[in-house]
Each structure stands twice: as C-alpha cells, then as structure tokens.
Amino acid sequence: MSQLTKYVKDQIWIYDYPIRFASMDLFARMTIIKLDDEALMIHSPCEISDLLKDEIDAIGDVKYIVAPGSYHHLFVTSFQLKYPNAETFLCPGLERKRPDIKFDWILGNQPDHRWSNVLDQVVVQGTKYIWEVAFFHRPSKTLILVDLLENIGDNYKHPTDRLLRFWWKVVFKMWDNPKAAPEYQMGWGRKDIVKNGLNKILSWNAQRVILAHGELIESNVTNILRSAWRKVLGT
Ligand SMILES: [Fe+2]
C-alpha cells in the first residue's frame, strides 16, 4: 500500500507521521515537492523507512532536505543518512539550537535559484520562541507551512490525546478554530517584524494550505489566515 499521498499531480506528495512532543502524541506532515529538473525537496522530513525510501525514489531524486521551522528538525539526520549527497537547508536559528546537525545552507527570504521558478519563500521571524520559513508553490498556488497554522478539531482524521485536547480547547481556544501553534501565541514578539513575513505570505493569495498539524485547508484561505494571525496583523 502506498504510504505517500499524491496532493498535486506529479508535483506534490504528503505523508503524515506520528510524533511525541511535550508529552503529547500528535501527527506531523512531511511534504515532498518535485522541481522542474525532477529533483525532490523533502520538506519537514519524517523518520524514513526502507519502504518509504523505495516509494520516494520512484518519483525522483532527493536533492534537498529542508528543516523549515524551529521545531521541525527531528528527522533531518534520518534522511541525510539515506541520501548523503543531498543538500540540507535549515530555518535560521536551528544552527544554534541543533549544532549537531550538518547543514549546507541557512534558508533566507529569497528562494534558492534551483527552486525559484517553482517556489517562493519568506522567513517569518521576530517571534520569541519559534521561527519558520513559509514556502509557496506557484503552479498550484499552495502555501506550505509547518506551525504558523494548525487546524485540529472534531473532523481531524488522526486520534488526538487528552492533553492535546485540553490545551487546544481550554487554553488556546484553537479546537476547530485554526490558529498558529501555541509557541507563537505565547510570544508574538516584535510584531512589526513578524507582520512583514505574514504580509508576504498573504500577498501570494494562496488557494490551499499544507500544514504540519491538522487538516489541510482548501477554501477561504485568506480569511482563515487573517483570522489566525489577527493579533499581529491588527485586523
Ligand atoms: Fe510543528
């Protein structure tokens, strides 16, 4: 049985995987993007099995491994071991948080020339506890985030543990109410700087969102983003 889910025909695949974080069992999502030259970008990697590797190898060549956020670095080395010639790109700050991870590049506000004809990107920084690099897949108008938007509620297909339900429902009021991850909400920090990044994302006019935790969003994207980020945008 196929493990990867085709999301955009011949261009984007996704894969949900369980993780344990802050004493909670939850799911995260890896995204695989095929670039013009058949190279694959692995975005927010999972722990890779031989079975999954076979499936990935059937769709293209893994050339780029991307850790796009402060908390999405756990399985970079798992992919590096399977693909020693791939280049690794880190979200700014991870080079200090995870000095043990070997990397080639730090992601910036300009997309790398090897993917700039397909993807745009922006670093969302200025927040206190968590940064990430947002990507936009132009051909399919897909915004690719990790933690800037989480969408978990009654219709979520994966089981959610009691602790997560408590935090999402009672503390952060984000059950069936997409918001940025708690680490954002606990410290938006320099909102003027954060706002620059968020406005760049909004300027892309995405039609759908791949996010790391929760159901994908495929309609009403701009309104959902504006609502989720209203404490920064001031709208
Ligand atoms: Fe996350």
Indicate the burial class of 195 (C-beta count within 10 angstroms; 0-12, 13-18, 19 or more): middle
Q: How far is the CA of 218 from the centre of ligand 1 (A)?
A: 20
C-alpha of residue 204 to centroid of ligand 1, in Å: 22
- C-alpha 179 – ligand 1 centre gap (Å): 12
Which H/E stretch holds residue 233? helix 230-233
The closest of 93, 220, 231, 92 to 151, measured between CA atoms, is: 220
- SS3 for 67-123 is ECECCCCCCHHHHHHHCCCCEEEECCCHHHHCCCCCCCEECCCCCCCCCCCCEEEEE
pTM: 0.97
Residue 235: its pLDDT value, please?
A: 67
- Among the listed ranges 53-67, 102-116, 156-170, which one has the minimum average pLDDT value? 156-170
How many angstroms is it from 225 CA to the middle of ligand 1? Answer: 17
- 2 pLDDT band (50/70/90 cuts)? confident
Task: Give residue 164 CA to ligand 1 midpoint distance, Å.
Answer: 13
Spacing, Cα 31 to ligand 1 middle (Å): 13
Query: Residue 104 and residue 64: Cα distance in Å, rounded?
Result: 10
- Per residue in 24-36, pLDDT (tens digit) is 899 999 999 999 8
Summarised one tens digit per residue, pLDDT across range 109-145 is 999 999 999 999 999 999 999 999 999 999 999 999 9
The span from the CA of 133 to the CA of 93, in Å, is: 11
CA distance 71 to 53: 23
Is the pLDDT reported for residue 41 higher than 90? yes
